[in-house]
Structure 1
């Protein structure tokens, strides 16, 4: 019986591959003119959405860019978006539909997205159907995923004529073991996998038995923000993010009890919303910190709120590549952060452009915040150097890395790619100099 099942599965695989070959024969030539970016919910709020909008805006200068959102659960985007970027929603949950098929499939769990995907509960058989139809409808251009579940679906379903790029916003080591196993074997089908940090790039290089055609690191760019730099005279510390346990706001509030006792004229503002909000409000009340710790809710104008503060605090248990640190640096704030290895540790040079604190140590976090409060010269020195660091993440600098990556992937498809010279020891691993990224012979249109 098992042998029969294996033969049936093998026959299905052969049919599927044959169908793909026939589709590819009729497909247009490889192209990077059209770029589609898969997102879970484009009208939501979060760091991944903000960074995708930022990248889409840059790419729209020379490409036709479409953000393909699996869900639509809000009428308008929470963050501003370049008008040149188009939107498509696969499952509009704001509009009830009389379609009985949709009603039935929406009640059934997803079969495409792994159960270990953190957003698994947001998918169902209806989103499976819509996502499959969309991916299979493409026969050229670039398709980019922005989370593991979407990257895995893309690797499995996209036609070979489509250039596929997986983008990872969460560290490999934080994924559940079954998810890591799927990643090991499916990601090899991608044209490229892009990590945000060097640590994650190293983990993928060591973990994947067979790698995508291109494995590289491209960090996020600083998004455009309103206003100017902070004056550093406001007695305010700030943090921004979803109110989940992983963000460690309960630790930050505990640390602030010590800070508030020594510096009662300083205020902590935690911007965001999420499942932990009620717990945090209760914790603030029980600690007697009303008026000293504020929860103003989410904000779409992060820049304006950062500008009103002097210190940015990151208390997360772990992070991929926290955009809020970049934003705070670009606004000229002093940074105090737990020393998470995949994000803050790479972004912050301790005692230079910020202070790194041993993770999950409330007393050390409180001591570092108090140190920055009490030493104005340190506060201003850290902020000045943070501004210098932020310039290395300018959208034009990071955008050129994306331009080079897509030029290389297109050249590989066209058979015009020339392997670059080996990197010199002075170069960062995974960051190939732009002059050596790709040579086109002859240049591709």
Structure 2
């Protein structure tokens, strides 16, 4: 099979980038012809390791910096019409030059499978890719997280895809209601591996990780931890990641007098070691798709304390078995749940063992064949089942 993955910035860092690279590597290892196409390029080398059999190309090289488009964005929109709507989280990337490059690329394809990986690229593929190309839209975020402008365009154009893939059962039901005539296929992201070093539950450390952006709710986590340390002053919180909210989070740490209790160490290349050295994983997101770092933490036998946010945590965790779910954005409830697991090592050990068992459903040897099966059925012209996968 000839498979092309179209990404915004394949050279960058992020959960979606890593999972798509993992898919591309797996398909190449299975003997398929795989190309990873990056709409923009801002680095010399990809951050994630590519199988040497995966070709990587870029449409717009921005390593020398971005430059103004030759035609004003508003004027160009009047001529070409609106492809990437306002409200797309990466809309600022799609200047005239970038959007045109993506449209030109997909319109010139003649065969094989095109996999697009975010709403902007999905909409471009839906409207510009020829009918003899098998089109698969990947959605890595829940539908309700998008503004109305995005949901309207999804409803209008996603019916042109041969399949739309989503990460969780909740996502699948959302998209089925919006697109009742389009195959909505649930395939989760896979972890790198499930046989990871396990936490020994000896270090008084709670760990969290992700982009330092409002979505991840680290401001809420810091406020909750301010309550936790009053009862458990020997415990520490480590939040790994970079992003635009770092200074605000540092200010919040100072405001609550948590300088000796909360660390923001930035990005780490060895998050696996940091997870194995911790005793609890905290997920404080306001919304999610499928929280992969949380599942990776579970492979390290970490119990999880998570907001029951839309969507993801409830699709993975069984409350009271492998973690605790608390009402979304409830700082007091998050603090109480953290204090509960921190104060009970036996509970942490029991939940950690259950977390390892639950994480096995996301093993690459189980997930990656689902992609191969999906692509084979679509190439054969078969209508695929709406649900490929079940964790239980």
Q: Aligned to 1:180, which of 116, 134, 151?
A: 151
Instruction: Give how far 1:124 is off.
Output: 0.5
Cα separation, 2, equivalents of 1:253 and 1:183? 36
Q: Aligned to 2:41, which of 55, 72, 82?
A: 72
Instruction: Give how far 1:107 is off.
Output: 6.0
Cα separation, 2, equivalents of 1:41 and 1:272? 18
Partner of 1:58: 26
Misfit runs of 4+, over 6 Å? none
Cα separation, 1, equivalents of 2:83 and 2:383? 36
What residue ranges of structure 1 are gaps of 5+ in the alignment? Answer: 1-32, 421-428, 434-445
Q: Report Cα offsets for 1:48-104 as digits up to 9, x if no partner.
A: 11111111121111212221111112222223333322211111111369xxxx753
Q: Report Cα offsets for 1:226-269 as digits up to 9, x if no partner.
A: 96222221111101100111111111000111111111111100
Matched, 1:430 2:387: yes
Matched, 1:82 2:51: yes
What residue ranges of structure 2 are gaps of 5+ in the alignment? Answer: none
Matched, 1:350 2:315: no
Instruction: Give how far 1:198 is off.
Output: 0.7
Q: Aligned to 2:175, which of 184, 200, 204?
A: 204
Moved more, 379-388 or 48-57: 48-57
Q: CA-atom RMSD, angstroms?
A: 2.0
Partner of 1:132: 103
Conservation of the 8 A alpha-carbon contact between 1:107 and 1:124? no
Instruction: Give how far 1:341 is off.
Output: 3.7
Matched, 1:120 2:80: no
Partner of 1:236: 205
For residue 58 of structure 1, give the secondary structure of its aligned residue in structure 2.
helix
| TM-score w.r.t. length of structure 2 | 0.93
Partner of 2:123: 152
> RCO higher in 1 or 2 (8 Å CA, sep ≥ 6)?
2
Partner of 2:15: 47
| TM-score w.r.t. length of structure 1 | 0.82
For residue 182 of structure 1, give the secondary structure of its aligned residue in structure 2.
helix
Instruction: Give how far 1:431 is off.
Output: 3.3
Q: Aligned to 1:105, which of 70, 88, 96?
A: 70
Alpha-carbon distance change, 226 to 284 in structure 1, aligned in 2, over 3 angstroms: farther
Q: Report Cα offsets for 1:301-327 as digits up to 9, x if no partner.
A: 321221111110000011111111111
Conservation of the 8 A alpha-carbon contact between 2:194 and 2:359? no
Instruction: Give how far 1:128 is off.
Output: 1.6
Cα separation, 1, equivalents of 2:148 and 2:378? 30
Cα separation, 2, equivalents of 1:325 and 1:42? 22
Cα separation, 2, equivalents of 1:399 and 1:138? 25
